[in-house]
Amino acid sequence: MSIFTEQTSFEKAVSVSSSSRHTGKTVLVTGGASGIGRHVAMRYVQSGARVVVGDLNVLGCRQTVRSCAELNATGACFTPDESCNVTSKSSTLNLFNFAKSVFEGNPPDIVVANAGVSEVGHLDDDIVLENDIGHYPKEPRKTTLEVNLAGAILTAGIAQEMWAKAPLDGLHSQASRQRKLILISSMGGWEGIPMAALYSMAKHGLMGYWVALSAQLTKMPTKPFSCHAICPFFAATSILDTAILLALAGIPKTTPDDIAAAIEAVGMDSPSATQSDDTAVLLPDDRVPLVIRAQDFDPVSGDIYSNLAIMLNQRQPRPDQAEYRSTTVEDIRKALSHNKQFHPLQLVICAGGVLHVLNLLRIAHRSSMLQNLVFGFLQAALVSLVLAVVPKAKAAR
Ligand SMILES: NC(=O)c1ccc[n+]([C@@H]2O[C@H](COP(=O)([O-])OP(=O)(O)OC[C@H]3O[C@@H](n4cnc5c(N)ncnc54)[C@H](O)[C@@H]3O)[C@@H](O)[C@H]2O)c1
């Protein structure tokens, strides 16, 4: 039996009317100025919670507050005037203290450690390439580790200290105020992403933190909070640049809102706070999330990675050609409109690179499916070029 389960209840949880299921709850989200963080804030506000967002980007946070207000929901979103940098203890503490001031002196019930970077363009600094020989050893870049790993753990640590200082029993008698620590990891926390060694390392580190913390929590007489790790595959947000989005065209991806739905679903109270509450939620594609409990996270006896490989293999997309092509075209169109600073040269380089790889594959494997893929891609590239160029040409006239 697989230790991963397909969590259809998340789908149900998001499809049923949810306007009140987090009423009375309070939530803090780091990295709430855009992408997944903004969707998380909106999801919780829509379900009745009060949310505080913090980010380096103050204007983005204000936009999140406005987007939440436009929902006309029972919940509300707030942000401090100053920015929050999760790599700084005082700055992150300020965000928590602001949240306490909004939440009548109480710490937030749910903390989402979401802020992250991908250092696009520098992902290969940690890999020794042939023409780099002689330049090593050199100091590894630290930003990804500082933000995605140390920053998340700092956020988690401040939450735990605040919770320890305000024990739940004394503060809230209702059982409906379970505390949750939600770490935003990635599928890169399960497998290495080529050209993203530091990113994969930071996200693997978060998985280690999650499983160790969960083991520690079970030893406590009363579990003070539960912890979750959310592991999405690529989703189109500003963390990905146009080149990556183009390279991923046609591959089934999750969306920021689906990720936010999973984050909101794990924030719901469970009947009893036990270790089986501590889960990792994997969103490897556009289908229902996979869930594993922390207690089953045993790489040796649980054979966890082969279990995951089997599950992922069963979900391999087998779309018919027409669907594949139309998804590819749509993804390319979205990638081009995603980045307003997009330079046409990027498309030419990316398309050339992808065509080159596909051509090599076609020569190596001469299978009709690959040939179809090549032609599908060519068709998609041509259509998207037309889509991209025609409006610009019209505008120029
Ligand atoms: N989009 C994806 O494909 C994807 C996949 C897996 C995991 N994730 C993770 O999801 C999280 C959110 O990313 P996103 O996709 O929404 O990207 P995003 O760029 O839209 O959001 C990340 C936010 O974090 C903020 N941030 C960066 N450094 C910060 C710092 N030092 N202090 C405070 N805020 C900071 C940014 O300003 C930004 O608003 C990240 O942890 C990311 O690693 C994203």
Mean pLDDT of 20-31: 93
Other beta carbons less than 10 A from residue 104's beta carbon: 8
Contact between 247 and 354 (Cβ < 8 Å) = yes
Cα–Cα distance, 59 to 45 (Å, whole number): 19
Contact between 231 and 280 (Cβ < 8 Å) = yes
pLDDT band per the 50, 70, 90 thresholds, residue 227: very high
pLDDT band per the 50, 70, 90 thresholds, residue 62: very high
Residues with CB under 6 A from ligand 1: 30-31, 33-37, 55-57, 60, 84-87, 114-117, 147-148, 151, 184, 186, 232, 234-235, 237-240
- Tokens, residue 172: 């809230």
Residue 77 main-chain phi, psi, to 5 deg: -125, 145
Which residues are within 8 A (CB) of 122 and not within 5 positions of it... i.e. 6 or more apart? 141
pLDDT tens track for 151-206 = 999 999 999 999 999 987 644 444 457 899 999 999 999 998 877 888 999 999 99
Mean pLDDT of 50-60: 98
Q: Is the pLDDT of residue 134 over 80?
A: no
Q: Which atom of ligand 1 is nearest the CA belonging to 148?
A: 41
**Residue 117 Cα, ligand 1 centroid: separation in angstroms?**
5
pLDDT tens track for 265-275 = 999 887 665 55
Give the burial string for 211-236 (b: 16+ CB within 10 Å, else e): bebbeebeeeeebbbbbbbbbbbbbb
Cα–Cα distance, 185 to 191 (Å, whole number): 12
**Residue 33 Cα, ligand 1 centroid: separation in angstroms?**
9
Ligand 1 atom 40: residue of nearest CA: 116
Mean pLDDT of 18-25: 84
Q: Is the pLDDT of residue 73 over 90?
A: yes
Q: Is the pLDDT of residue 145 over 60?
A: yes
Mean pLDDT of 120-125: 56
pLDDT band per the 50, 70, 90 thresholds, residue 87: very high
Cα–Cα distance, 385 to 181 (Å, whole number): 44
**Residue 30 Cα, ligand 1 centroid: separation in angstroms?**
9
Instruction: For residue 137, say if its preceding peptide bond is cis, omega within 30 degrees of 0.
Output: yes
Regarding predicted confidence, which is higher, 330 or 54? Answer: 54
Report pLDDT for 58. Answer: 98
110-113 and 76-78: which strand pairing?
A: unpaired
Q: Is the pLDDT of residue 108 over 90?
A: yes
pTM: 0.84
How much of the chain exceeds pLDDT 90, in percent? Answer: 47
Q: Which of 236, 189, 221, 210 is nearest to 339 (CA)?
A: 236
Q: Which of 43, 34, 33 is nearest to 237 (CA)?
A: 34
Q: Which atom of ligand 1 is nearest the CA belonging to 187?
A: 6
Q: Mean pLDDT over all residues of the chain?
A: 82
Q: Is the pLDDT of residue 225 over 80?
A: yes
Which residues are within 8 A (CB) of 106 and not within 5 positions of it... i.e. 6 or more apart? 26, 100, 166, 171
Q: For 227-236, 292-301, 319-328, which range has the lowest pLDDT when averaged over its residues?
A: 319-328
**Residue 146 Cα, ligand 1 centroid: separation in angstroms?**
13
Report pLDDT for 142. Answer: 87
